[in-house]
Structure formats: C-alpha cells, structure tokens
Amino acid sequence: MVHIKKEGTVMPGKWIIQTIIGRYKYKLLLTYSLFGIEMLGLLLRPYFLGEAVNGLIKGSYQGLFYLAGAHLLWVVMGTLRHRYDSRTYSNIYTSLVVKLMSRNRNSDLSKLSAHSTLSREFIDFLEFDLNYIIEAAYNIIGSLVLLFFYDTQVVLLCLLMLIPVSITSYLYGKRMRRLNKFKNDELEQQVNILATRNPLRISEHYNKLRKWQIKISDQEAWNFGVMELLVMVIITASLITVSSVNGKSLQAGDMIGIYTYILKFVTGLDTVPYMIQRTSTLKDILHRIELEPEDELPAAVSAA
C-alpha cells in the first residue's frame, strides 16, 4: 500500500520509479531520445550561425545551409516530441492515480487528495523538470566541448566556476529538502482541516502554508542573487580572455559562437538551483506516495 517512508531507509520512491520505468520504458526512451536530438539541434545552431556569418563575409552560402539544417532538425524533433509527450505522461498519471486511490480506499480523504495532487507533481517532474535537467546538461557540457574548439582558456575559467556553484548548490539543496518536507506535511492535512469548517483552524492552516512558501521563496531569492553574481564574473572574465587571445585573430562568426556558448553555459548554471529545488520536492513526494514492490500500474486508456 501507499505509505510514508522513514528517513534513512532505502531510496524514496524506488518501487514507484521502477514500476513506471518497467511499464513505460519504451515510451519514455522514445520521448527522451526525441528531446535529446532536439537539444542537439539547438546546441549546434550557434556554431553553424558563426560559420554562416564567416562564410557570408567571404561570399559563401555553405554555412547558411548547415544553419538551416540544424534549425530544421530542432523544429521537427520539437514538434514530434510535444505531440508525443502529452499522450505518454497523461497515460502514466492516470495509471498512477488509479493505483494510489484503489490501494488506499480506507485512508482518510485528506491524504488521498494530497497524494493525488502530489502524483500530478511527480508526473510534471518527469514531463517538464527532467527535460530542464537534460537541457541544462546539454548547455553546460555541450557548451564546454564546443568552447574547447574556440579557446581552451575560456573552458578552464568555466570549469573553475563550477567549484563555487557546486558548494552553493549543495547548501541550497539541504535547506530546500527541509522546507519542502514541512510544507508537504501541512498540505496532507488540508482536506481534514477544511472539513472542520472551523475558521480559526482553516486560517491557521493557510498561514502555515504561507509561512513555508515564503521561506522557500526567500531561499530561492538568496540563491538567485548569489548565482547571478557568479554568472556576471564568468561572462566578464571570459570575454576579457577572448579579447586578449595571444596574437590570434578571431573572425566575427567565431566571436558570435564563443559569446553564445558562454551564455548557454551560464544558462545551464542558472538552471541548477531550480533543478535542486524540484529534486528536493520530488524526494519528499516519493516518500509519501510510495508503492509496494508487488504493486503494478493499471493500464490507462491511451489517446488516439
């Protein structure tokens, strides 16, 4: 049945994740493969844009054709993935909620309602947040690889910046796990409290939710400020380094490529706090909607 795991036990959500992957592995593999190819097209566009600019300056259109091809790859893969995603994840969500509700007919309504909401958050993580994580990986790792072909010194600067980012992210993640736990503890009591129709208890409940949400928002704000300061440092240092390359003459297209990949790298870094916040939320959710090993998800009606 669905139960709350104690801290320090096996990984939260082990069985629910294994069950979903086992039942929908091919659909999930297809949707993430489409997204990976889509991100590859997006990652290569700045390089081909730079080559197109360099080529046009010399009177060549070859780079422009490559740029159009990369953009077309991104558009086609994105269109296919968006159509496929909604069908896959709505199917998974329906199966998951039906199983949770059928296994807990005797549970109180408040927890059933909260678990239904938390299940939607879990599926949203698979559909949207995991894509952000993959995109951030493409932006960080892919940008470093392509920057290597432009200027290795910029790559070293970016790698050095990962040290303070990692420390900041670790501390942020610890705080967010604690705050999300407190918030979801209160959320599980919502329906029961509303059923009392007691204005004082209802007011106290929503004030507690408000308090935890404010604390979460404050942590996000502080982390945003620190991360943006680090971003400013890496952009400034990288552009200074590129502009003073030892006797190397850079073409206009190369400067466009370098600057765009620096921006992609810092965009990936900007995504790290959001990834940590959502991962912390996911861990707490999986503690609450855990399935037993013998559970299987029922088949859901698939969309045409």
Whether 256 contacts 50, CB under 8 Å: yes
Tens digit of each residue's pLDDT (9 = 90 or more) over 119-177:
677 777 777 777 888 888 888 898 899 888 888 888 888 888 888 888 888 888 788 88
HSE-up of residue 199 (Cα within 13 Å, Cβ side)? 0
Amino acid at 242: V
Instruction: Report all structural domains of the chain as residue ranges with CATH numbers, in order of start.
Output: 14-288 (1.20.1560.10)
Tens digit of each residue's pLDDT (9 = 90 or more) over 90-123:
777 777 767 666 665 555 655 666 666 666 777 7
pTM: 0.64
Read off φ and ψ for residue 197, nearest 5 degrees.
55, 25
Does the structure show a pLDDT above 60 at 294? no
Whether 100 contacts 263, CB under 8 Å: no
HSE-up of residue 51 (Cα within 13 Å, Cβ side)? 16
Residue 159 structure tokens: 């790698």
The stretches of 139-189 forming alpha helices (DSSP H) are: 143-150, 152-187
Closest to 41 (Cα-Cα) out of 72, 65, 64? 72
- Decide: helix, strand or coil at residue 301: coil
Hey, which residues does 241 pair with through a beta bridge?
A: none
CA dist 205 and 186 (Å) reads: 7
